[in-house]
Chain A
Amino acid sequence: MRTIYLKILDFKIKINLLSGLNQGPTKIAAIKQLEKQLETYLKPFISPIEFKKCDFIIDIDSDYTELDTTTIQNGQNIYMLMYKHISKNKIKTFYQIGIYQFGSIFQGILIDLLSKSSGFNMHCSAVLDNSSIILFMGRSGAGKSTISNLLNENYPKVADDISLIKKTGSNFFFYEGPEISKNWANRTANKYHIRCIYFLKKANKSWSEKISKEKALKILLESTRIKNRATIKSVMEFTDQFNEFYNLYFTKNKQEILKFMENTKK
């Protein structure tokens, strides 16, 4: 058994790679491929220091027997087991799943851990401006990916789909997390101060207007994936502390939006 030790959002997570004996060449190739992809996907978060106590354990098992026989049919849909809970802080998944499925499982685990630890997730893209973060929110098709791609030259993209926010001390910070999405972004294990949050609206000219906390809270709650009591409380607390909420009407003209962003700093 090999273990990957991860430190992410101040959580300690262990991934146990359980490869059995007598594996055929196809299985060995699948195992090696997933291990290699995991190392790439999780690279910034791999801890060189081993630890015994941790917040979550993921077992990745090479025994397919359970997976092969666990399918459920509901009408035309056939469901196959992707992972199972072993205990409240341990799951078991299988080498047969691909890296995209693993990414989805892993993101769910992080969001769940966050919700128990004064944190929450937001459906948004994010760019880095010096040492602080600008978040872009909006409904599907509002331009979250578009704007972060337009700005990427001067403002590196750090999230494309989901942003993880966690309270550390008395302040909330943006944490980079692993993300597998249509546009891969370069990851680090850093945390950042949040400069402002823009709610996107497409327009012919780029301009912004400040919006009330009341309106912002409504949108933030809509865009949070897990809505348990602790998460909602954290979103409300964050909205109370944070003051920079804006509607951003933006054009797809790269130079214009870059100029607009420069002007916001003045």
Chain B
Amino acid sequence: MKYKINKGLINQVVGGKMTIFDGENSLLHTFSESGSFIFKKIRIGADDQDIIDMLVKRYGIKRAIAEKDFYEFVNELLLKGIISK
């Protein structure tokens, strides 16, 4: 599955971390290093399975853990209106 970043949000790397400004709600979101990595991959249009594979490779973790972490993060982004399916 692919996700898209919702319109109206401004994203910029600040101090190595992906930072999102939600102008409509005047909210600022800053992601951790791994969150920034996932967001950048979503931004270039990678699908969920590709991103999970990349997480396994990058952090040397089991696929089940990568999947859990990925979907937890993605669900949060969906809830906050940062991305949509």
Chain A interface size band reads: 10 to 19
Within 8 Å of chain A (Cβ to Cβ): is B30?
A: yes
Q: Is A236 in contact with B21, judged by CB distance below 8 angstroms?
A: yes
Q: Is A227 in contact with B15, judged by CB distance below 8 angstroms?
A: no
Among A218, A221, A233, A240, which residue has its beta carbon within 8 angstroms of that of B15? A240
A221 to B14 CA separation, bound complex (whole angstroms): 13
A177-195 interface with B by 8 A CB criterion: none
A221 to B30 CA separation, bound complex (whole angstroms): 14
Q: Is B12 in contact with A237, judged by CB distance below 8 angstroms?
A: yes
Among A214, A218, A236, A240, which residue has its beta carbon within 8 angstroms of that of B10? A236
Q: Is B12 in contact with A221, judged by CB distance below 8 angstroms?
A: no
Among B17, B21, B30, which residue has its beta carbon within 8 angstroms of that of A232? B21
Q: In whole Å, how far is A212's beta carbon from the nearest beta carbon of chain B?
A: 7
Q: Is A214 in contact with B15, judged by CB distance below 8 angstroms?
A: yes
Q: In whole Å, how far is A30's beta carbon from the nearest beta carbon of chain B?
A: 42
Q: Is B23 in contact with A236, judged by CB distance below 8 angstroms?
A: no
A227 to B23 CA separation, bound complex (whole angstroms): 8
Q: Is A212 in contact with B15, judged by CB distance below 8 angstroms?
A: yes
Which B residues are CB-close (under 8 A) to A237?
12
Interface of A is mostly: helix
Q: In whole Å, how far is A165's beta carbon from the nearest beta carbon of chain B?
A: 16
Q: Is A213 in contact with B15, judged by CB distance below 8 angstroms?
A: yes
Within 8 Å of chain A (Cβ to Cβ): is B65?
A: no
A233-263 interface with B by 8 A CB criterion: 233, 236-237, 239-240
Within 8 Å of chain B (Cβ to Cβ): is A229?
A: yes
A218 to B12 CA separation, bound complex (whole angstroms): 14
Interface of B is mostly: strand
Q: A227-B23, A229-B23, A236-B21 given as contacts; is B14 within 8 A of A218 (CB)?
A: no
- Which of A227, A233, A240 has the most chain B CB atoms closer than 10 A to its own CB? A240
A233 to B8 CA separation, bound complex (whole angstroms): 12
Q: In whole Å, how far is B46's beta carbon from the nearest beta carbon of chain A?
A: 23
Among A214, A227, A236, which residue has its beta carbon within 8 angstroms of that of B12? A236
Within 8 Å of chain B (Cβ to Cβ): is A38?
A: no
A206-224 interface with B by 8 A CB criterion: 212-214, 217-218, 221
B1-33 interface with A by 8 A CB criterion: 10, 12-15, 17, 19, 21, 23, 28, 30
- In addition to A214-B28, A233-B10, A240-B15, 17 A-B residue pairs with Cβ atoms within 8 Å of each other are A212-B15, A213-B14, A214-B15, A217-B19, A217-B28, A227-B23, A229-B10, A232-B10, A232-B21, A232-B23, A233-B12, A236-B14, A236-B21, A237-B12, A239-B14, A240-B12, A240-B13
25 contacts between A and B (CB under 8 A): A213-B14, A213-B15, A214-B15, A214-B17, A214-B30, A217-B14, A217-B19, A217-B28, A218-B28, A221-B21, A227-B23, A229-B10, A229-B23, A232-B23, A233-B10, A233-B12, A236-B10, A236-B12, A236-B14, A236-B19, A237-B12, A239-B14, A239-B15, A240-B12, A240-B14
Enumerate the 3 nearest inter-chain pairs by beta-carbon distance, A residue then B residue, closest first: A213-B15, A236-B12, A240-B14
